Structure 1
Amino acid sequence: MENRTPIPDLIRLATTTADVDTLLQMMETFCHHFSYPFDRPLRQQLIRQMLENPSLGSLWLVVDENRPVGYVVLTYGFALEFGGKTALVDELFIEEGHRGGGKGRTVLQQIQQTADELGVSVILLQTEKYNPRAKRLYESIGFVDQERSTLMWKRPN
């Protein structure tokens, strides 16, 4: 029998107006870090949509001594290939001063443990090709690069 050490809770669901403000601040930092566009009103609207309709996904705050230091966003889909409901780790962010100490690993382990409760058959994530450190982390906890597909996208007309 495997002896598993319990993982201390590092994430909690975002549910309050204060959580929305905290998420927006960290999302802006995340987007600037990766040079992604950041549209505050749009992000605020999307967060509210997710909070009002949990079937779209869930927003989690990463906390250290009850202080938010990051966030993770799961969005939900459905795929025959993967046996039903899927969760995409849409964004994972941990503040600079809290990186490198295992928080990212613990957050993803907690998300994996929560998958059954969420009714999720598979957790998907993507990482930038220029971020081998993140890829190594994901692979070290069991995520697999299928190397058979490329994520492509197009906005509807």
Structure 2
Amino acid sequence: MFLVATELADQPEIQRLLDLSDSVAARLYPGAFRQPLNRATLSRPEIALYVARNVADIGAGRALGCAALMDLSDGTAELKRMIVDPDYAGQGVGRSLLLAILQAARERSFTAVLLEVGILNVEARRLYESCGFRDRGPFGRYAQTPIATFMEIYL
């Protein structure tokens, strides 16, 4: 069982996951379209960072996955930087994380959660679709690129 809670971004376990996310993105999408986030950005007041940990390991340390929910100031939020440690892939960490974030978005009265996901992130797309996300066009500051797709779920 996994516990998902909001946590501060300024911790080594979060940096480890961000570095992992950056390396995956660099491998899948080399070039100019990548937009890395850092712990300072994730500490901004409009962003809540959610971290999944194994209940049995609480206090022992290892973060199994994380994602950020950014308030877009229009009644919607953006899901950003969702990553699961590959040692825990296929064990339900991503689904637990995503469902907890969607519940938190409902509790915060957001009307929808939007996201951008790369075309090669097939497993992530499957997870998002299985939780109710559907395709949409670019939003906010995003433009259509050859490597990006956009999704949303209404809450």
The answer to whether TM tops 0.5 is yes
| Counterpart for residue 149 of structure 2 | none
State the TM-score, normalizing by the size of structure 2: 0.72
- Could you tell me which of 77, 83, 98 is aligned with 1:87? 77
| Counterpart for residue 152 of structure 1 | 143
% identical equivalent positions: 22
AA paired with 1:134?
A
CA-CA distance at 1:38 after TM superposition: 8.7
Measured in 2, the distance between the counterparts of 1:32 and 1:140 equals 26
| Counterpart for residue 92 of structure 2 | 102
Q: Is the 8 A contact 1:74 1:87 kept in 2?
A: yes
State the TM-score, normalizing by the size of structure 1: 0.71
Q: Is the 8 A contact 2:65 2:94 kept in 1?
A: no
Per-residue CA deviations over 1:108-156 (Å, capped at 9, x if unaligned) read: 111111112223111112211112222111111110113xx24408xxx
Are 2:24 and 1:33 aligned?
A: yes
SS in structure 2 opposite 1:12?
strand
**Higher helix fraction: Structure 1 or Structure 2?**
1
The Cα RMSD (Å) is: 2.4
Alignment of 1:8-87 (within 5 A): 10-15=3-8, 17=10, 20-35=11-26, 43-48=38-43, 50=44, 53=45, 56-64=46-54, 65=56, 66=58, 67-78=62-73, 84-87=74-77
Measured in 2, the distance between the counterparts of 1:122 and 1:71 equals 20
Of structures 1 and 2, the one with the larger relative CO (CA 8 A, separation 6+) is 2
Structure 2 unaligned spans of 5+: 145-155
CA-CA distance at 1:88 after TM superposition: 0.8
Instruction: Rate the CA distance shift 1:135–1:57 in 2: closer, same or farther, 3 A.
Output: same
Q: Is the 8 A contact 1:57 1:75 kept in 2?
A: yes
SS in structure 1 opposite 2:38?
helix
Instruction: Rate the CA distance shift 1:45–1:103 in 2: closer, same or farther, 3 A.
Output: closer
**Higher strand fraction: Structure 1 or Structure 2?**
2
SS in structure 2 opposite 1:91?
strand
The higher radius of gyration belongs to 1
